[in-house]
Structure formats: structure tokens, C-alpha cells
Structure 1
């Protein structure tokens, strides 16, 4: 009895036990946080200006690894050319290259969107000299907004006497002529190598198929020889029969 009373006099633990965490609730909380972040990024992407969209389109042109956040000098020059920022009078290709080298960092090869706007501000002063600084910037923005890289078509072959002479197989001579048949079609290996014809008894014999013609000719001559001999003996009045 004494031992049982002593045990009962111990102070009870008033701290409630922690309930085990629910893994389903934890996953739901993480998913909600991810959804909120993705929706925020989507909202930012949807709020892109037409100028920034054009910047990203030109930034990823020709480069599958590009993210669209930075632009190389080659794409910068293409943008200025395709969007007619370069007019050949106030703004030239040299001006575009100089501005790009001035705006980018010393050790960098690309420019960001903010640096891109700084570069356009520099060019706007030359491109629109008769307007104020703010109006010039807005005008140069209008040239670029909503634009995309121009993809040039397939280059057409130049038609000239020199090209036609080099491609006309009927005018080829020497070993080049042997590589094509009369229609202009290539012979392939037969036109490049000396292939030995092993179809006959003698390899490389060039008069195959003429035996029958020769035999028939010799038989006709043999049949004609007795008549000629008889004609010579009988006189000029004898006619040779065929």
C-alpha cells in the first residue's frame, strides 16, 4: 500500500502529447505554396510588355539553349536590322556595334533587358534627331514592339553563263565526260572506275555480239564464190544468182 501511494503522489505531466503529423496535410501545404508561386510567375509572364516580348524572341533566335533573358551581339544586330532601327543614314551597323560594346559589361558578351532599353535610348537620339528625348525613345520602341526575327528564304541559284557551262554535262570533256550518259545522268561507279567486263571468254573484249553477223557474212561469201568462179570461166554473159 505504501508503494502504491508513493507512486500516486508523483506530479502528473501537464504537457499534452504532440499529435503525429499528417503527411497528407504536409503535401497539400507544399502543393498550395507551389501553385501560388507558379501563378505569380504566370501573372508576371502575362504582364510582359510588347517590347520585352520582342526582346525575348530575338534573344532566343538561333540558339536552342538561350533563356530569353540575355541577348548576344549577333541577335542585337539582327533586331536593329529587322526592325529598321538601322536606316543606313542616321544609324548604321557600326553605330549599333558601338552602342552594344558601350552598354554591356567589360567581361560580358550579352545584355539584359534593362541594358537593352539603355541601348535603345542611346540609338534613339541618333535615329530621331528632330524629336525630344522622350518622343525619340517612344518612336524607337514602336519600331520594335510586337516584332519577331525575319527568317530569310532559300537562296536562289544564280543564272549565269559561267554556272551553266559548269553544270552542263554535254559540254564536259575528258574523264569528266565519261562519268555521265548522253541524257546527263551520272553513271555512278562505272563512270569513276574501269570495270572489267567478264561476261565473255576474253575479259575486256569490245566486239561482243558480232559473231553471228560475221558468220552470216562468211556463209554468203562462201555461197557466192562458186558462182563467181563459174562466171569467170563461162564469160561475161553469166549472171551471179543471189
Structure 2
């Protein structure tokens, strides 16, 4: 049979355990649970601005800027949000994407017209490049980078330079280059013969017009 002292000890130990368990429960109850992070303020701007298909976010800034510039090229009323096939071809030629061998304007026409619209926006234009690159087995990233590095639209002027014009004038006014009847209008110094060079004068000498060896027979025989 347990003594009174032993019973008191057991009672005290049980009380201590109960108190400790209560403290542990209270501590757990008071520990705050971290709230779920619902702040979306740091969402990617590219993701927010991505258009249909969510592809805009992958395009370089320079590419997007050039898209706006070329979409306005030759069209003063354009808002810069969509471009035509001719504007696209202009851009790709300047970027040397269209080289007439690996990629031609026939290729771009085929894949551009699949969108069944005269103009397409940036997101659809990216899809157009994806389709073109896949069909021609070239790197999509390389095409995009070339177009990003193309620079602003450059006008293709057909006007001849001052030097080219002068060269043409010199060539056309150099008597030494003339042939046939035109050559007969000038003497050896290049001076015009006047009416004698413009009008056939019948001499009755028995030679055809323009014959160069007149009266030379007796000198050689």
C-alpha cells in the first residue's frame, strides 16, 4: 500500500502535466496563421498586356516599336496597331528576312492570308511569324531578332543621284561613242557639222552615203 507522501507526489506530477498541456494548447491557439498572399500588384506587365494567344510578352521591345513604325509606313491614318502584307514585306525585306531564296514574298503571302484579313495585330502577327518559321524550317527567334534590329522604315528612292545623271549626260554627248549616221554629224574634234551633218547632200560621186574611203582606190593601187 502506497504511503501518503507517494500519493502526494503523484498528485503534484499530474497537476504539472495538466498545466503544461494547457499552456501548449494556448500557445498553439495564439500562433497566427500566415495569410495567403493575394497581392497581385507585382504581376508581370507583359502578362497583363498580352493579347490573344498570350504571345506578345515574348516579343522584344524593339520589335514592338518597329511594328508600330512599319504599320504607319505609307498610311498616315494608321493607329500603329495593325499592319498589312505589303508593310510586313517591306519590314522583312529591310531586315533581310525575305532574301528571295529561303523566304520569298510568295511564302509570306500564303501564311499572311490565312488570317483572312487585310491587316493583323501584333499577337496575330507573331503567330504569322511562328507559322512562317516552322514551314521554312528557320529559327523563329532569329527572324524576330532580325526584325527587331532592322531599324526604322527607309524609303526606297528611284531617283538617280547627281553623279549618275552627269555620267549619263557625258555618255550621251560624247561623239566618240556615236555610231552610224549619228557619227557623221560631228568632225574628228567633236564639233558638229551643222546642216551637212543633218542633211543628206547628193554629190553624184558614185558613193553611198557615209562611205569612209572615198577616192582612196587610186592611192592603194
| TM-score of Structure 1 vs Structure 2, range by shorter chain | 0.3 to 0.5
TM-score by length of 1: 0.40
Q: Which fold has the larger relative contact order, with Cα–Cα distance below 8 Å and residues 6 or more apart in sequence?
A: 2
